[in-house]
Chain A
Amino acid sequence: MRTVTRHLSLSLVLLAALSLAGCAPEPAPQASETTAPTDAPVFASDAEALAAATEAYAAYLAMSDKILAEGGNDPDRIRAFASQKLAEIEMEGYANFRSKGLKSVGESRFSDLILQDESPSDIAGLGAVTTYLCSDVSQVDVVDTNGVSVVADSRPDFTPFIVSFDLVSRDPVALIVASADVWEGAGVCT
Chain B
Amino acid sequence: MHLNWTLVAFMIAASISVAVLSQPAHAETGSCSRADVQIGGCPAANGAINNGGVDLSAGYETGGGQASGGQEADGGSGSGGEGDGSGDGNGPGGGAPGAAPVADPLTVVRDDFTVGCIPGSPCDPNLIVRVSDLVNFQPSAPTQAMEPRGWSVVGLPANFIAAASVHTLSGTLLGFPAEVRFTPIGYRWSYGDGAEARTTGGGATWAALGLPEFSDTATSHVFRRAGVYSVQASAVYSAEFRFAGPSWRAVQGTLPVSAGPLGVTVGDARTVLVNRTCTTNPAGPGC
Within residues 229 to 276 of chain B, which ones have a CB less than 8 A from any CB in chain A?
243-247
If A179-B31, A181-B27, A181-B123 touch, whether A159 touches B37 (CB-CB below 8 Å) is yes
Prevailing SS type, chain B contact patch: loop
Q: Which of A108, A150, A155 contacts B34 (CB 8 A)?
A: A108
If A90-B33, A116-B177, A184-B115 touch, whether A142 touches B38 (CB-CB below 8 Å) is yes
Task: Select the stretch in A33-41, A48-56, A92-100 that faces chain B.
Answer: A92-100
Interchain CA distance A116-B121 in the complex, whole Å: 13
A64–B34 touching, CB < 8 Å: yes
B33–A181 touching, CB < 8 Å: no
B244–A132 touching, CB < 8 Å: yes
Question: Is A156 part of the binding interface, using a Cβ–Cβ cutoff of 8 Å?
Answer: yes
If A162-B27, A184-B105, A186-B105 touch, whether A155 touches B39 (CB-CB below 8 Å) is yes
A188–B245 touching, CB < 8 Å: yes
Number of B positions contacting A (CB below 8 A): 40
Question: Is B146 part of the binding interface, using a Cβ–Cβ cutoff of 8 Å?
Answer: no
Size band of the interface chain A makes with B: 35 or more
B31–A89 touching, CB < 8 Å: yes
- What does the 1/0 interface line of B10-37 toward A look like (CB < 8 Å)? 0000000000000001111111111111
Q: Give the residues in chain B near A127, CB-CB below 8 Å.
A: 25-26
B35–A94 touching, CB < 8 Å: yes
Question: Is B196 part of the binding interface, using a Cβ–Cβ cutoff of 8 Å?
Answer: no
A182–B113 touching, CB < 8 Å: yes
If A89-B31, A183-B123 touch, whether A152 touches B246 (CB-CB below 8 Å) is no
B40 and chain A: residue at smallest CB distance: A155
Interchain CA distance A130-B28 in the complex, whole Å: 12
A179–B38 touching, CB < 8 Å: no
Q: Give the residues in chain A near B125, CB-CB below 8 Å.
A: 184-185
A130–B246 touching, CB < 8 Å: no
If A137-B38, A185-B106, A186-B247 touch, whether A178 touches B26 (CB-CB below 8 Å) is yes
A190 and chain B: residue at smallest CB distance: B245
Within residues 108 to 129 of chain B, which ones have a CB less than 8 A from any CB in chain A?
109, 112-117, 122-125
* Nearest chain B CB to A160 CB, angstrom units: 9
Interchain CA distance A153-B26 in the complex, whole Å: 31
B122–A181 touching, CB < 8 Å: no
Question: Is A117 part of the binding interface, using a Cβ–Cβ cutoff of 8 Å?
Answer: yes
Cβ-closest 8 pairs across A and B: A187-B245, A155-B40, A93-B35, A93-B33, A181-B116, A152-B40, A186-B247, A64-B34
Residues of B within 8 A of A (CB): 25-42, 70, 104-106, 109, 112-117, 122-125, 176-177, 243-247
A-B contact pairs, 30 of them (CB 8 A): A64-B34, A68-B35, A72-B35, A85-B31, A86-B31, A89-B33, A92-B33, A93-B35, A96-B35, A102-B39, A104-B35, A108-B38, A114-B244, A116-B243, A119-B25, A132-B244, A152-B41, A152-B112, A154-B40, A155-B38, A155-B39, A156-B113, A159-B37, A162-B27, A164-B26, A182-B42, A183-B122, A186-B105, A186-B247, A187-B244
